Structure 1
Amino acid sequence: MLGRDSEIELLATLLRRAAEGHGGGVVLHGEPGIGKTALLTHTEERATGFRVLRAVGVAPEADLAYATLHELLLPVLDSVAELPGPQAQALSVLFGRAHGTPPDPFLVGLSTLSLLSLRAGERPLLCVVDDAHWADRPTLKTLAFVARRLDNEPIAVALAARADEGHDTDLPHLRRIPLMGLKPDAARALLAGRRLTHGEQEQLLAVTGGNPLALLELAGRELPPEGAQEPPALTDELGRSFLARIRARHGAALPLLQLIAADGSGSVETVGRAAASLGIDAGPLHRAELDELLTYDGTRLVFRHPLIRSAVYHSATVNRRAAIHRALASAFDTDADHHRRAWHLGQAAVGQDEEAAGELERSAEQAALRGGPAAAMATLSRAAELTPDGPDRGRRLWSAARAAVQGGFTAAAGELLDRAEREPRLAEADRIALAALRAIVAEFAGSTQDALDLVRPWIPRALRIDRRLFTPTVAMYADLGRRADRPRAWAELARWLGEVAPDRDDPRDAVLRLLHALCLARTGHDPRPAARDRELAGELTDPVTMTLAGAIAGQLGEHELSRRLIRDAGRLARAGGSLGTVAWNLEYQAADELARGRFGLAEAHAEEGCQFAADASQPNTACRNRALLALCAALRGRPEAAELAADVLAEAAGRRLPDAMAYAGRALGLVDLVAGRHHEAAHHFAGTTGPATALTTASTVDPATGRPHGAATGLVADPGVDLPADLAMGMAPDLVEALVRAGDQEGAAAAAARYERWTAYTGSPELGALAARCRALVSEGADAHGHFAEALRLHALADSPLELARTELLLGERLRRDRRRSEARRHLREAAEGFRRLGALAWADHAQGELRATGEQARTRAPEAAALGTLTPQELRITLAVGEGLTNREIAAQLFLSPRTVDYHLRKVFQKAGITSRAELMRLVLAEDRRVR
């Protein structure tokens, strides 16, 4: 430990904080031999009172899903039965202890967190993973998931990894500690007693760069002469040093050591069977001859240092390694070990080998069942390399790409899709699936417009080949058209869907019929969706299809069906641990809660969506959820709303996300609208809606401010566009109000007429109410009051309290201007009360100002404090789950937390709300729901 005082102190702090209940993690990075393993060992020795779980990543298992995690958790797997059912099942299936449906990687992460948290309840835990760069990717993702959730857990995680080798271990929420070579004084102290001259020490320091292992291994050996042009690489020199020592002491056992190095399972029985088939003497395994090289703890045979294993493995010739892998493949003869058998066959194969490729493909299916998308990706990619020319090669490549997408490996997915696309004999159905997969990658991490263009040419063929199989792809195209602001997608889909005859009793066909109805509505036709289709859509079971169907139903005005489908989809995705689907689904839930004026819940959904999207490598999804957070802040009148919205608008523009730009642009417009900056508000509502509703400015502009002079802005809709875009129409009521307040009655009338045409064939009372309000704003006298009355009638049938309060405010203002003050007061009071209930403070202040202008000396009321208004989004999510009657364990499973973390937040909720029982909390949740309604 010479020269490592600062690193030792950092690791001691990690242990101390974990013992106090505030866990965390670190990654020690550095070259081979730099002292990473020594520091981990020292930390284990200092972990008094901790239970230590240890694993070592090994190169041969780098693509075997969860191999390192299995080693880490093996000592505590007997506690799996104490976990909630889905989590216990996930780990049991994962490690071959049970059969079942594939566990999602994030369910594996949650199960691992719960298992560690459970055992940490007895005493703190230290989880150590040496050579983490060779740990399989699923294990690394699981550890990253766990590390992000250790703030309130007595768990410390310490990893050691080589820099720039193996898998990426720059994991979020794990502090990176780079290890450099020893300083000269520490290096000389390490070499004390080696009888080296000062010159030899200096040369050794220069050659090794202060690497401790290299210093000890090369001390006294002949070094390259000073001034040599290209001294041998240190790792090569170390390898030769290890091999020289092994050959000198254990030369006869080298073939056996090569077999153990290639094995990876650490099973003495497996090595013994393979050794027998190769004619290798396995006797040294049962004696103490190899104890200086190997350790055996009763379950696993492991080399004492990974560099020794690497040197031994690569000492075998290529042909010898192939023979060893064939022998190992034969040694794995049970169904549970099929994936290892296939992997060894793949390593032994040379050139095209369909038998090995088939074994690998079947192994990939087993890897998927065990929740290993990274393993499936690597296995299928190798299978494709071994596959002879033909359609199977392309199919295996895009299947590997699909596994990469599921695992969040976007770059690898793109490369695999490129290779699959170049295959000349790929089946048409596979090409459609490939295009859909490309679109998904683009939608999550690229450009929505690109995603739309990628999938568009294949939609008619998908409907002809297998419309039910590709129902999610067709529905995704509609969703992409809305997000990308491409209204002509509706006309295309209306034509394509009109040419198919869906079955009357299939839920997927019901989705296509509902989509056809929406396309007809968007293109100016009466859709008349059948009641039977609504019933059938409720029978869907796939979370992705359910979410898309819910979005379709919502746009048709079927809000109850929409909410049920989207919420149930979220629950199913959570139950299955599919965090990527949850992140994407939460955007839909957050947008719906915003529309209903439930801002706290909308913020909770959007914030959680941001977190999960980051976990699932979906930067675009995260951006959209941040845009919804900005919109929520604007509606609540928070001071940071404008800055947050501007930041999101810039990010969304860079990512080419029109829907996120529309959310952020609307947020900026609402901030200006409630502040009385009506011209600026109109430009925000008109300026982020894309070319489908291009707006022109005919007024003169003040050169000093860049803003229009006078009351008239001259904003009019572009008459050259046939179909209005959804994003623009979503902001049309805001735009009409801003234009009217800015004095541009002509522009407002044009926007109102356009909005009315867009809503003509939807059955939504909410949209009908907004259309009537727009008509009222551009009308005068009795006509205006009649339209306001119709808007209020339709609002009563909808569930949008914010828009109801805004209509009451606008009507009250109109009545006040018409000198009908008594009537105005009634509506303005309703508006002020509604805004207060929702927590829309700036709007409430505006309504109070209008009320005072009627002559009513209203007392300024403090904003109504919601019983749960002081809770953080995380606390609110937990509180609402309690309101549904869930236990802490069930809440932990839903929110991807540990039960201990749920308990911690729940105690804070009780403290803030001044209550002492779950029953009291459930009553508060019900009261809060009634208050908002």
Structure 2
Amino acid sequence: MADLVGRRSECDAVEKLLSLARFGRSGSLVVRGEAGIGKTALLEHAHQTALASAFRVVPSVGAESETQFAFAGLHQLCAPLLERTGTLPEPQRTALGVAFGLHGGAAPDRFLVGLAVLNLLAEVAEEQPLLCLVDDAQWLDEASAQVLAFVARRVGAERLALVFGVRDSDDGDRLPFAGLPELGLERLGASDARVLLNAAVRTPLDEGVRERILAEAGGNPLALLELPRNMRSPYLAGGFELPDALSVPRRLEEGFRRRSASLPPQTQLLLLVAASEPTGDVALLWRAAAHLGLAREVATPAEVTGLLEIDVRVRFRHPLVRSAVYQAATLPDRRRAHGALAEATDPQADPDRRAWHRAQAVFGADEEVAEGLERSAERARARGGVAAAAAFLQRAAELSPEPAARARRALDGGHAKHESGATEAALALLAVAAAGPLDALKRARLELLRAQIGFHLTRDSDVPGRLLDAAKMLAPLDTALSRETYLHALDAAVINGGDDATHIAAAALAAPPAEVPARPVDLLLDGLATTLTGGYTAGAPGLRRAIEAIRDSSYADTGRDRHSDRWLWLAGRSAVAMFDDELLYLLASRNVQLAREAGALATLPTALNLFSITSVLMGELARAGELAAEAAAITQATGGVELRHARVILGAWRGDQAETTALSASTAQDVAYPDGSTDASQAQYAMAVLNNGLGNYAVAQEAAAQACTSREIAISGSSLTEFIEACVRAGQPERATQAME
């Protein structure tokens, strides 16, 4: 294949993966690179090689418009295999059915979904070797990406291979695939680029133009193939310029747009329908085409030009073709395409996709469509898709004709967007909600969300006070939410440091009491507030009852309190203060599991950091490093305050003096982490651990003494043990005895 010029070693790597899988040594491979670098060509090579080696191949393609549909990408991959689900254990079969919307049920445990997919693929691979291909995996929805990464990490002897094509971008890596074997595709060298260009050009080419194309393409294979096809003949014969205002992918997209624009109008409309529905469902495409009065023959010009291929699945030559077609279409034509797809989608089998297409098809506000999207948001949340729920609610707000309904949906959407890590979108929806009208309860919820986003982004010193004000506003309106907001305020004050924590703790104890029976989160509020106002001895018994109640609630088969799940992070930190390692591990691991399942990227970094620190305490330093790196990458991708504490503690326990000292120093200099903040205190704790290990007991003693003053009882308690060790080894047993008592 011309597309694979200069890719012999990469082809060898793919062929080796397939050869090993064929003989019972499963594996996975993540093919990374920029747009047009040859990922799709390499995956196609894998496809053809696998077919020649008697593999069964199940291909799928991530789609940008589907990133909000929980489990959509996974369903696309597994759909041809679903007749084999009868062999799965009942819990796994049920979890998979709920995830794919085949029947109702509670939000599926992603661990069960992952096991179900792993066992399903293994079952199919028993009959013949199986290759799973996922192109454009950077556009998989979060749930699908996590499950497929779970499967890829656990394949062993199933005669199974998984290959993912992932586009590099400025937005960061597709995090779930971190740690899997990777194959990075680089741009072609000068000689290979020239060979590929010569193969692409079938007419005489002026040498000056040839050099310009080579320079503009910069070794990008798709650019080398497509730029000559999109140049007018005068340029090929000696023209002077190529457009240089656009990046290579943008230039390619513009070329695809021009080629599609040259097709007959009916063919262009069919292309638009195909671009508007990324599942590649051929039957759905033809039903929508029939609704528009388009004969199947109108697809021929698009197939002849190589833009589209229709076989068992609809496939574009490249994802840039899809985006070029869709972006070039007029708004009325887009609405026509989505309207036809809505009519062609079975409302019983796929109500959410139908609701989404209807929402893109309407002109102006439409309450009926907005209500449908709101119902879709509820179903998405039930399946664990908070990002999907947020997308549905955002569009529902846009389509709401009545200001009150618009404000309500925008507020709900803002909360969901924040939870999913889309902070800018959450702020935009907050602005819509603020225009109102809002009743007193919704106004208080709006102020609560504003404060939460502010704390997530900047750790502003005024946030605990704003949260306290919101808690007081909520007290006569919603006692349960008010108490949770007091806990938010208390936690923010502890993290920020200073004297606010004691003041807020006293206010929480004076607030309206919890309903009977008290929820686990109410017990946690009372336990922490009592500890901060009355001391460890007074608060510890209630705090232990609270964190055990949260653990029991989170693992309950029935009657689970999902409000308690939000506080697993704080409960886990409190378990550190109880010196209960087993309880800490249960809470920290459960926190990460549930944050992943919900796609809650706003809270996942803190969950990963706690689990990383827990892993350090368990002696599992390699896993701790992976968790800390994932947390840092998510924070960078979604925004928010950088979380260094897992990395600095890991560095200390590894005895890495340079890393620990550098991180501690940068924390001390960062205005986001004032003296007394949990981050500053954790850095001091880390320096105590490091210097006790290095034998620098005076330095360790001083660092531990500072950390012992932290309002965060997990840090002050852990630092006390380091202080005792430093005092004993420094020959100061009296100070050590006093600290121990």
TM-score for both structures, normalised by structure 1: 0.62
2:40 aligned with 1:37: yes
Q: Per-residue deviation at 1:186?
A: 0.7
- Given candidates 105, 114, 122, the residue that maps to 1:100 is 105
Q: Per-residue deviation at 1:54?
A: 0.9
For residues 809-888 of structure 1, the aligned pairs below 5 Å read: none
* Amino acid in the other structure paired with 1:365: E
2:149 aligned with 1:185: no
Aligned equivalents of 1:727 and 1:148: distance in 2?
Answer: 34
Alpha carbons of structure 1 residues 662 and 51: separation in structure 2 relative to 1, 3 Å: farther
Q: Residue 106 of structure 2 aligns to a residue in which SS? A: coil
Q: Per-residue deviation at 1:13?
A: 1.5
How many matched pairs? 701
2:30 aligned with 1:26: yes
Structure 1 unmatched ranges of 5 or more: 693-722, 753-769, 777-790, 792-933
Q: Per-residue deviation at 1:63?
A: 4.4
* Amino acid in the other structure paired with 1:460: K
Report the structure number with the largest CA radius of gyration. Answer: 1
Aligned to 1:686: 705
2:104 aligned with 1:71: no
Q: Deviations over 1:49-101 (max 9, x none)?
A: 64432113445545444433322222333444555655443322121222112
Q: Per-residue deviation at 1:505?
A: 2.2
Aligned to 1:774: 738
Aligned equivalents of 2:242 and 2:585: distance in 1?
Answer: 66
Alpha carbons of structure 1 residues 223 and 582: separation in structure 2 relative to 1, 3 Å: closer
Alpha carbons of structure 1 residues 178 and 566: separation in structure 2 relative to 1, 3 Å: closer
Aligned to 2:480: 468
Alpha carbons of structure 1 residues 7 and 462: separation in structure 2 relative to 1, 3 Å: farther
2:8 aligned with 1:8: yes
Q: Deviations over 1:613-668 (max 9, x none)?
A: 4686599897444455456x3xxxx7x26555435534654462833443442343
Q: Deviations over 1:462-485 (max 9, x none)?
A: 343323245444334333433433
Aligned to 1:492: 504
Alpha carbons of structure 1 residues 440 and 89: separation in structure 2 relative to 1, 3 Å: farther
2:338 aligned with 1:374: no
Q: Residue 476 of structure 2 aligns to a residue in which SS? A: helix
Q: Deviations over 1:344-382 (max 9, x none)?
A: 222123444433333222222233334433333333222
Q: Could you tell me whether the CA contact under 8 Å between 1:485 and 1:659 is conserved in 2?
A: yes
Alpha carbons of structure 1 residues 397 and 125: separation in structure 2 relative to 1, 3 Å: farther
* Amino acid in the other structure paired with 1:176: G
Q: Could you tell me whether the CA contact under 8 Å between 1:325 and 1:345 is conserved in 2?
A: yes
Aligned to 1:239: 257
CA RMSD, Structure 1 to Structure 2 (Å): 5.1
* Amino acid in the other structure paired with 1:41: E
Aligned equivalents of 2:402 and 2:121: distance in 1?
Answer: 47
* Amino acid in the other structure paired with 1:262: S
Aligned equivalents of 1:528 and 1:308: distance in 2?
Answer: 63
Q: Could you tell me whether the CA contact under 8 Å between 1:678 and 1:742 is conserved in 2?
A: yes
2:378 aligned with 1:365: yes
Q: Deviations over 1:855-890 (max 9, x none)?
A: xxxxxxxxxxxxxxxxxxxxxxxxxxxxxxxxxxxx
Q: Could you tell me whether the CA contact under 8 Å between 1:256 and 1:282 is conserved in 2?
A: no
- Given candidates 360, 376, 383, the residue that maps to 2:396 is 383
Alpha carbons of structure 1 residues 686 and 431: separation in structure 2 relative to 1, 3 Å: farther
Q: Residue 229 of structure 2 aligns to a residue in which SS? A: helix
Q: Deviations over 1:158-203 (max 9, x none)?
A: 4446676999768634443244598563145414754667677667
Q: Could you tell me whether the CA contact under 8 Å between 1:260 and 1:266 is conserved in 2?
A: yes
Aligned equivalents of 1:724 and 1:26: distance in 2?
Answer: 41
Q: Could you tell me whether the CA contact under 8 Å between 2:524 and 2:546 is conserved in 1?
A: yes
Q: Residue 7 of structure 2 aligns to a residue in which SS? A: helix
Aligned to 2:557: none
Aligned equivalents of 2:71 and 2:308: distance in 1?
Answer: 23
Q: Residue 59 of structure 2 aligns to a residue in which SS? A: strand
* Amino acid in the other structure paired with 2:29: G
Aligned equivalents of 2:286 and 2:695: distance in 1?
Answer: 82
Q: Residue 320 of structure 1 aligns to a residue in which SS? A: helix
Q: Residue 377 of structure 1 aligns to a residue in which SS? A: helix
Alpha carbons of structure 1 residues 242 and 646: separation in structure 2 relative to 1, 3 Å: same
* Amino acid in the other structure paired with 1:213: L
Q: Compare 253-262 and 442-451 and name the one that shifted more.
A: 442-451
Aligned equivalents of 1:685 and 1:623: distance in 2?
Answer: 18
For residues 431-510 of structure 1, the aligned pairs below 5 Å read: 431-434=443-446, 447=459, 452=464, 455-508=467-520, 509-510=522-523
Aligned to 2:673: 656
* Amino acid in the other structure paired with 1:236: E
Aligned to 2:331: 318
Q: Residue 45 of structure 2 aligns to a residue in which SS? A: helix
Structure 2 unmatched ranges of 5 or more: 246-250, 554-559
Q: Could you tell me whether the CA contact under 8 Å between 2:84 and 2:120 is conserved in 1?
A: yes
Aligned equivalents of 2:32 and 2:727: distance in 1?
Answer: 60
Q: Compare 173-182 and 323-332 and name the one that shifted more.
A: 173-182
Alpha carbons of structure 1 residues 176 and 445: separation in structure 2 relative to 1, 3 Å: farther
Q: Per-residue deviation at 1:678?
A: 4.4
Aligned equivalents of 1:353 and 1:19: distance in 2?
Answer: 55
For residues 119-158 of structure 1, the aligned pairs below 5 Å read: 125-132=130-137, 135-136=140-141, 138-140=143-145, 142-143=147-148, 156-158=161-163
Aligned equivalents of 1:613 and 1:207: distance in 2?
Answer: 37
For residues 553-632 of structure 1, the aligned pairs below 5 Å read: 567=586, 570=589, 574=593, 578=597, 600=618, 610=628, 613=631, 617=635, 623-629=644-650
Aligned equivalents of 1:667 and 1:222: distance in 2?
Answer: 68
Q: Per-residue deviation at 1:494?
A: 2.4
Alpha carbons of structure 1 residues 267 and 478: separation in structure 2 relative to 1, 3 Å: same
Q: Could you tell me whether the CA contact under 8 Å between 2:172 and 2:633 is conserved in 1?
A: no
* Amino acid in the other structure paired with 1:355: E
Q: Compare 360-369 and 515-524 and name the one that shifted more.
A: 515-524
Alpha carbons of structure 1 residues 43 and 216: separation in structure 2 relative to 1, 3 Å: farther
Alpha carbons of structure 1 residues 330 and 439: separation in structure 2 relative to 1, 3 Å: same
Aligned to 2:248: none
Q: Could you tell me whether the CA contact under 8 Å between 1:131 and 1:161 is conserved in 2?
A: yes
Q: Could you tell me whether the CA contact under 8 Å between 2:464 and 2:492 is conserved in 1?
A: yes
Q: Residue 336 of structure 1 aligns to a residue in which SS? A: coil
Aligned equivalents of 1:30 and 1:474: distance in 2?
Answer: 47
Alpha carbons of structure 1 residues 433 and 196: separation in structure 2 relative to 1, 3 Å: same
Q: Per-residue deviation at 1:611?
A: 6.5
TM-score for both structures, normalised by structure 2: 0.75
Q: Could you tell me whether the CA contact under 8 Å between 1:24 and 1:147 is conserved in 2?
A: yes
Q: Deviations over 1:471-522 (max 9, x none)?
A: 4443343334334334542343323332413333233444444445435423
Aligned equivalents of 1:273 and 1:526: distance in 2?
Answer: 65
Alpha carbons of structure 1 residues 220 and 527: separation in structure 2 relative to 1, 3 Å: closer
Aligned equivalents of 2:243 and 2:16: distance in 1?
Answer: 46
Q: Residue 99 of structure 1 aligns to a residue in which SS? A: coil
Aligned to 1:46: 49
Q: Deviations over 1:512-533 (max 9, x none)?
A: 4444543542399899969998
Aligned equivalents of 2:267 and 2:731: distance in 1?
Answer: 93
Q: Could you tell me whether the CA contact under 8 Å between 1:547 and 1:566 is conserved in 2?
A: no
Aligned to 1:842: none
* Amino acid in the other structure paired with 2:678: D
For residues 191-230 of structure 1, the aligned pairs below 5 Å read: 191=200, 194=203, 211-214=223-226, 217-218=229-230, 221-223=233-235, 226-227=239-240
2:364 aligned with 1:346: no
Aligned equivalents of 1:461 and 1:652: distance in 2?
Answer: 35
Q: Residue 53 of structure 1 aligns to a residue in which SS? A: strand
Aligned equivalents of 1:591 and 1:236: distance in 2?
Answer: 49
Q: Deviations over 1:795-816 (max 9, x none)?
A: xxxxxxxxxxxxxxxxxxxxxx
2:568 aligned with 1:547: yes
